Structure 1
């Protein structure tokens, strides 16, 4: 049975995941190290992991597998769960697959190297937009429909 795992720290689409999962009657695990208001939805289980680097990622990676959906912006986590057979959606609706996750991981590492080489480099990525939210909703809907087929 399909489950959705949400890497919830700094995730801007938790409410959207819950709404789509409820419509499809899919179990959701919202994984964080605390600080989030638990949902009253019986399909949503809030999992609080101990603080520490990548503890939430490890919890998800140990459980997500074939047929599951993982919502994360963390590329190393995405690579692990794609290898385990899970579908991965970034917050903007972009799917990370066996065909593109290694390239995304290489790009992430390259950008980290560039940032460390230039300590004066400021700023982050693009902001999260309404269009990103809409793309995410559409992508999650399509992934869950395909899982039921």
Structure 2
């Protein structure tokens, strides 16, 4: 069975993702640390002790090929992509092997700039359009994951 693994700390699209994944019979799992107790009906919640990257490591150890991961963490996305997962952020942008290096480089340069005293803008306020884009793209990713897994199972 396909899984949906959500890096649930600060994820604004949990309810959308759970609604859509239930239609596709994809098993949802929420990962959070003890400072963010996140539970939803119909989803498994895995809580880990608070600590740097504790949620990330638990999630990446649970992911398998063709699972779907929702995260805004490029480092976690890279690890999940290496295991054959499909990865999307809360705005519906898919992270792939074609764009992850550029995203990681941008993250590195931004962190370097901030360490040097620079200031970067935070995320823009979430809009209805962000939600619509997420829903549309997430549905497509669910369909693709199901197709990919069924093709492999036929072999």
- 2:113 and 2:123 map into 1 onto residues whose CA distance is 14
- 1:37 CA displacement: 4.3
Structure 2 gaps, min length 5: 148-155
Structure 1 residue 19 and structure 2 residue 45: aligned? no
Residue 138 of structure 1 corresponds to which residue in structure 2?
Answer: 136
- 1:20-59 deviation digits (Å, cap 9, x = unpaired): 0111111011000133342222xx1011111100101001
- 1:57 and 1:83 map into 2 onto residues whose CA distance is 14
- 1:122 and 1:99 map into 2 onto residues whose CA distance is 25
Structure 1 residue 81 and structure 2 residue 80: aligned? yes
Aligned partner of residue 51 in structure 2, secondary structure: coil
Residue 152 of structure 2 corresponds to which residue in structure 1?
Answer: none
- 1:147 CA displacement: 2.0
Structure 1 residue 64 and structure 2 residue 60: aligned? no
Taking structure 2 as the reference length, the TM-score comes to: 0.89
- 1:107 and 1:134 map into 2 onto residues whose CA distance is 26
Residue 115 of structure 2 corresponds to which residue in structure 1?
Answer: 116
- 1:48 and 1:18 map into 2 onto residues whose CA distance is 18
- 1:94 and 1:62 map into 2 onto residues whose CA distance is 23
Would you say the 8 A contact 2:60–2:79 is kept in 1?
yes
Aligned partner of residue 30 in structure 1, secondary structure: strand
- 1:148 and 1:16 map into 2 onto residues whose CA distance is 18
Residue 147 of structure 1 corresponds to which residue in structure 2?
Answer: 145
Report the number of matched residues: 146
Residue 41 of structure 2 corresponds to which residue in structure 1?
Answer: 40
Taking structure 1 as the reference length, the TM-score comes to: 0.92
Structure 1 gaps, min length 5: none
Q: Following superposition, which runs of at least 4 residues in structure 1 exceed 4 angstroms of deviation? A: none
